[in-house]
A and B are shown apart, each in its own frame.
Chain A
Amino acid sequence: MGAGHAHRLYRAADSPVHALPPHTKLAAVFCFVVVVVSTPREAMWAFALYAALLAAVAYAARVPLPYLLKRLLIEIPFVAFAVLMPFVAEGERVHFLGLSLSESGLWGAWNVLAKGTLGVAASVLLASTTELRELLLGLQRLKLPPLLVQIASFMIRYGDVITDEMRRMKIARESRGFEAKGVRHWGVLAKSAGALFIRSYERGERVHLAMVSRGYAGSMPVIDEVTATRAQWSYALTLPGAALFVCLMGWML
Chain B
Amino acid sequence: MHVPDGFIDAPVSAAAGAVAAGAIVVSLRGARRELGDASRSGTAGSGGERTAPLAGLVAAFIFAVQMLNFPVAAGTSGHLLGGALAAILVGPYTGVLCVSVVLLMQGVLFADGGLTALGVNITDMAITTTVVAYLVFRALVKLLPRTRRSITVASFAAALLSVPAAAVVFTCFYAIGGTTDVSLAKVATAMIGVHVLIGIGEAVITALTVGAVVAVRPDLVHGARGLHKPLKLKVGGELIDAPVSPVAVAARGRSHRKVWAAGLLTSLVLAGGVSYYASTNPDGLMKVAHDKGIDKKEKPHAASDSPLAGYGVKDVTGSRGLAGAIGVGVTLVAGSGVFWVLRRRRTSDPASTEPVADGAVS
- Could you list which residues of chain A lie within 8 angstroms of chain B, going by C-beta atoms? 1-3, 6, 9, 26, 29-30, 33-34, 36-38, 41, 71, 74-75, 78, 85, 88-91, 102, 104-105, 107-109, 111-112, 114-116, 118-120, 122-124, 126-127, 132, 135, 139-140, 143, 145-148, 150-159, 161-163, 165-166, 180-183, 185-187, 189-198, 200-201, 203-205, 207-209, 211-212, 216-222
Q: A85-B182, A111-B180, A162-B61 given as contacts; is B89 within 8 A of A197 (CB)?
A: yes
Q: A181-B71, A212-B49, A217-B49 given as contacts; is B4 within 8 A of A120 (CB)?
A: yes
Q: A36-B5, A217-B49 given as contacts; is B111 within 8 A of A120 (CB)?
A: yes
Contact of A3 among B85, B110, B211 (CB under 8 A): B110
Which A residues are in CB contact (< 8 Å) with B85? 193
Interface of B is mostly: helix
Q: Are A123 and B111 in contact (CB under 8 A)?
A: yes
Q: Are B181 and A2 in contact (CB under 8 A)?
A: no
Contact of A75 among B4, B52, B67, B109 (CB under 8 A): B4
Interface size class of B (residues with CB under 8 A): 35 or more
Q: Are A119 and B115 in contact (CB under 8 A)?
A: yes
Q: Are A208 and B54 in contact (CB under 8 A)?
A: yes
CA distance A196 to B48 in the complex (A): 24
Binary interface encoding of chain B residues 4-43 relative to chain A, with 1 for a CB under 8 A from any of its CBs, else 0: 1111011001000000000011001000000000000101
Is B278 close to A, CB under 8 A? no
Which residue of A is nearest B41, CB measured? A205
Q: Are A203 and B57 in contact (CB under 8 A)?
A: yes
Q: Are A116 and B5 in contact (CB under 8 A)?
A: yes
Which residue of B is nearest A207, CB measured? B53
Closest-CB distance, B78 to chain A (whole angstroms): 11
Which residue of A is nearest B71, CB measured? A180
CA distance A186 to B204 in the complex (A): 8
CA distance A224 to B270 in the complex (A): 37
Is B73 close to A, CB under 8 A? yes
21 CB < 8 A contacts A-B: A37-B5, A88-B182, A88-B186, A109-B180, A111-B180, A119-B116, A123-B107, A123-B115, A135-B109, A143-B297, A148-B97, A152-B105, A163-B60, A186-B70, A186-B204, A189-B70, A190-B209, A193-B85, A195-B212, A198-B220, A201-B61
Closest-CB distance, A146 to chain B (whole angstroms): 7
CA distance A172 to B216 in the complex (A): 20
How many inter-chain contacts with C-beta < 8 Å in the A-B complex? 293
Q: Are A200 and B61 in contact (CB under 8 A)?
A: yes
Q: A71-B111, A89-B180, A204-B53 given as contacts; is B60 within 8 A of A155 (CB)?
A: yes
CA distance A111 to B183 in the complex (A): 17
CA distance A158 to B56 in the complex (A): 8
CA distance A20 to B8 in the complex (A): 31
Which A residues are in CB contact (< 8 Å) with B89? 197
Which residue of B is nearest A185, CB measured? B71
Which B residues are in CB contact (< 8 Å) with A201? 54, 57-58, 61, 90, 220
- Could you list which residues of chain B lie within 8 angstroms of chain A, going by C-beta atoms? 4-7, 9-10, 13, 24-25, 28, 41, 43, 46, 48-61, 63-68, 70-73, 80, 85, 89-90, 97-98, 101-102, 104-112, 114-116, 179-183, 186, 201, 204-213, 216-217, 220, 292-294, 296-297, 338, 341, 345
CA distance A114 to B59 in the complex (A): 32
Closest-CB distance, B10 to chain A (whole angstroms): 5
Which residue of B is nearest A127, CB measured? B109
Q: Are A204 and B54 in contact (CB under 8 A)?
A: yes
Q: Are A186 and B208 in contact (CB under 8 A)?
A: yes
CA distance A64 to B126 in the complex (A): 35
Which B residues are in CB contact (< 8 Å) with A181? 71
Which A residues are in CB contact (< 8 Å) with B210? 194
CA distance A164 to B129 in the complex (A): 27
Q: Are A162 and B64 in contact (CB under 8 A)?
A: yes
Q: A200-B58, A218-B48 given as contacts; is B115 within 8 A of A194 (CB)?
A: no
Which residue of A is nearest B178, CB measured? A108
Q: A147-B51, A182-B71 given as contacts; is B64 within 8 A of A6 (CB)?
A: no
Q: Are A183 and B73 in contact (CB under 8 A)?
A: yes
Q: Are A193 and B209 in contact (CB under 8 A)?
A: yes
Q: Are A196 and B49 in contact (CB under 8 A)?
A: no
Q: Are B212 and A194 in contact (CB under 8 A)?
A: yes
Which residue of B is nearest A155, CB measured? B59
Q: A75-B4, A145-B338, A166-B64 given as contacts; is B57 within 8 A of A204 (CB)?
A: yes
Q: Are B115 and A29 in contact (CB under 8 A)?
A: yes
CA distance A123 to B117 in the complex (A): 13
Which A residues are in CB contact (< 8 Å) with B206? 190
Q: Are B5 and A198 in contact (CB under 8 A)?
A: no
Q: Are A74 and B28 in contact (CB under 8 A)?
A: no
Given contacts A152-B104, A186-B204, A196-B61, list 18 more A-B pairs with CB under 8 A.
Answer: A33-B115, A36-B6, A37-B114, A78-B4, A109-B180, A118-B5, A119-B4, A119-B115, A120-B5, A127-B109, A140-B296, A147-B28, A155-B56, A155-B101, A166-B68, A190-B207, A205-B41, A205-B54
Which A residues are in CB contact (< 8 Å) with B181? 89-91, 102, 104-105, 107-108
Which B residues are in CB contact (< 8 Å) with A197? 58, 61, 65, 89, 209, 213, 220
CA distance A116 to B115 in the complex (A): 10
Q: Are B70 and A155 in contact (CB under 8 A)?
A: no
Q: Are A198 and B217 in contact (CB under 8 A)?
A: yes
